Chain A
Amino acid sequence: MTPIQILFLVTALAAVLSAIMVVASPRLVHAALWLIVTLGAVAVLFVLLDAAFLAMVQVAIYIGAIAILIIFTAMLTRRVMGEAGPQANRSWWLAAFIGVLLFGALLALLVQVPAWWQATPPTIGVTADFLLEDLGASLVDLDRYVVPFEVASVLLLAALIGAIVLARPAERSGGEGAK
C-alpha cells in the first residue's frame, strides 16, 4: 500500500469511529466534540482528494460555525456536566438496520462507477484549479446552478430575519432600553 492509501484508511477509520462516538457518547458536549473530530477527518479526506478549497470550507463552516453553535447551545442546557444515561433506546436495531441498508445502497451505486476498485484512479484530464473555477462559474451561470443558489440565499435571509423577529422584545415602548 502506498502512504496515501494508509493515510486514507486511518482517516476514514477515525471518521467512522468518531461518528459512532457522536451518537454513543453519554455527555452532550462530548458528542459535539466527537462531531468536530468527524468533520475534521472528512476535511482531511478532501485534502487527500486534492480538493483543498472544499477542505478549508469544511473546516471554516462546519467546525468554525456549525459545531461551535452546537456546543454553544449544548452548554446552555442544564446539568451539562452530568451524563445523560444510556444512549440506546428500544428501537436501536431499527436505526442500525436502516444504516446498513443505506450503506448497501450507496455501495451499489459506487460499484457502477467504472474502475472504482483500481488503486490509481483514471485521471480526469483537468486540474483541481480548473474544477474550482468551474464550480464558482456554475453558481452564477443561468443554465446551471444560479437558481438553486439564489433560492438557498433567500432561504438563509428569511431565517436571518426570522431569528431577529423572534429575538425582539414583544412590545417596544418608546426608546431603546425603555428607561
Chain B
Amino acid sequence: MISDPFTYLGDLLREVLVGLGLTTGQAAALIQFLGAGALATAVLLLTFLLIWAERKILARIQDRLGPNRVGPYGLLQTIADAAKLLTKEVIVPDGADKLLYYLAPPLTVMSVVGLWAVIPLAPNLIGSDINVAVIYLISIGAIGTLGIMLAGWSSNNKYALLGAFRSVAMLISYEVPMVLALLVPTMLAGSMGMVAIVESQRSMWFVVLAPLAALLFFTSSMAEAGKAPFDLLEAESEIVAGYNIEYSSMAFGMFFVGEFLHGFTLAALTVTLFFGGWLGPGVHTYTWLGLIYLLLKTAVVYFVVVWVRGTLPRLRIDQVNAFNWKFLVPLALVVVVVTAVADKLATSVGWGRTPAMLVANGLVFLGTLVVMQRYGRAQRLKYEGRAAMAPEPAGAPRP
C-alpha cells in the first residue's frame, strides 16, 4: 500500500463498488469517470496556487512585494479575487451571438485541462495511455484556438475580432515548430504514447539527446500558451485587451484560469517529453515518489516560464511572425532531419547514441550561430549604407 497507493486506492474503490452491487465493467467505467473528475478538479484547484506563485515571482523580479494582505503571504488573495469575480454580473454585449459567447470560455479551459489526460503523473497513474498521445496534444490545442476565435467573433466588437485574428495567426503559426519539435521525442522513443516516451528516457533524458528540440518545443509552447514575450493575446497597450475585451465576471475569469494553467501545463509537458517525466531514484519501490518528482521538475521549468515573462518585453506582431517563420520553422526542419539521420547513423555504425546526438545538435547549433551572424552583419551593413545615403545624418544608427 505504501509502495503504490494509487493502484491500491483504485482496487479499494473497485471492491467497494462491486460490493455495492455493480458489475465489474460498470465499476471500471465509474472509476474512470471519477478519476477524470478528480484529475480535472485537482488541476483547476492548482490554478489558485499558480496564480499566487506567478504574481509573487513576478513581483520579486520587479522589486515589489506582490499580494501580501489576504492570508499568510497573500496566499488567499486569489480566492478573494475569484469570489469578487463570481459576484459580478456577466454582461452580454448587444448583438452578440449568445450561444457562442458562452461556449468560448469553457472551450478554452477545456483545451488546457484536456492536456492533463495524457500526462503520466506517476507509474500506473495516467488519465489515459493512448498510443497517439502526441497527436492528441496537437488536436486539443486546436480546440483552444477555436475558443479564442469564437470569443473574438461572438462579442460583436471590432477590437475583440482584431485581437482574435492576431492571436489565431500567432497560434496557428507556432503550431508548426511545436509539431516538428514533438517529432523528435517521438522518433527517439519510437512511440507516440506518453508512457512509452517517459519509459525510454530511463537511460538518458531526451533533453541531453535533443537539447535543440527541447528549446524549440519550450519556445513554441510558450507562444501557444500566450506567455510573455508572446502575450499578444492581451496586449493592453495596443488593442485594448484582445479577444476577451467584452467578457466580464467568471466568463472572463475562465480565460484567465486557462492562461495561467497553460503555463504550468506547458512546463509539465516539457518535463514529460524531455526531462524524464516522473523518473527519479527510488520511483519503483515507492511509486508516489514519481508524482513528487514530476511536480518538482515542473515547478523548476514553470519558474523559468515566469522568469522569462518577467524579463522580456512584448514583441510586435510582425516580429513574432518573422521569428517563427524565418527562424523557428527552418531550424525545426533541420533539427528533425538531423536527428533522424544521426540516430540511424549512430545505430548502424555503432557509436553511442548520446555522443552522436550531442555532436549532431552541436553542429546544428554552430551552423545556426554562423547563419545568424551573417544575417546580422548583412542587416547592419544595409542600415549603415542607408544612413550614409540619407540627406541629413540620422541620429543614432539603428541596431
For B68, the chain A residues whose CB sits under 8 A away are none
Are B168 and A68 in contact, CB atoms less than 8 angstroms apart? yes
Q: Mark B135-161, 1 if CB is under 8 A from A, else 0.
A: 110110111011001100100100001
Pick from A36, A64, A175: contact of B138, CB below 8 A: A64
Pick from A63, A71, A75, A81: contact of B139, CB below 8 A: A63
Chain A interface, number of residues (Cβ within 8 angstroms):
21
For A72, the chain B residues whose CB sits under 8 A away are 149, 165, 168
Q: Mark B278-298, 1 if CB is under 8 A from A, else 0.
A: 000000000000000000000
Pick from B97, B139, B156, B168: contact of A59, CB below 8 A: B139
For A57, the chain B residues whose CB sits under 8 A away are 135
Are A53 and B149 in contact, CB atoms less than 8 angstroms apart? no
Interface of A, secondary structure class, is: helix
Interface of B, secondary structure class, is: helix
Q: Closest residue to A33 on the B side, CB-wise?
A: B100
Are B153 and A75 in contact, CB atoms less than 8 angstroms apart? yes
CA distance A60 to B327 in the complex (A): 24
For A75, the chain B residues whose CB sits under 8 A away are 149, 153, 161, 165
**A-B CB contacts (within 8 Å), total count:** 60
Are A52 and B131 in contact, CB atoms less than 8 angstroms apart? yes
Q: Mark B369-399, 1 if CB is under 8 A from A, else 0.
A: 0000000000000100010000000000000
Q: Mark A14-31, 1 if CB is under 8 A from B, else 0.
A: 000000000000000100
A56 at the interface (CB under 8 A from B): yes
Pick from B132, B156, B168: contact of A56, CB below 8 A: B132
Most buried by B among A57, A63, A64: A64
Are A68 and B145 in contact, CB atoms less than 8 angstroms apart? yes
Instruction: Name the 7 nearest CB pairs between A and B, nearest first.
Output: A64-B142, A59-B139, A60-B139, A56-B135, A56-B132, A60-B138, A53-B132
15 A-B contacts (beta carbon < 8 Å)? A29-B97, A29-B153, A36-B146, A52-B130, A52-B132, A53-B132, A53-B135, A59-B142, A64-B139, A68-B146, A68-B168, A71-B146, A71-B153, A72-B168, A81-B95
Which B residues have a C-beta under 8 Å from some C-beta of A?
Answer: 95, 97, 100, 130-132, 135-136, 138-139, 141-143, 145-146, 149-150, 153, 156, 161, 165, 168, 172, 175, 382, 386
Which A residues have a C-beta under 8 Å from some C-beta of B?
Answer: 29, 33, 36, 52-53, 56-57, 59-60, 63-65, 67-68, 71-72, 75, 80-81, 129, 175
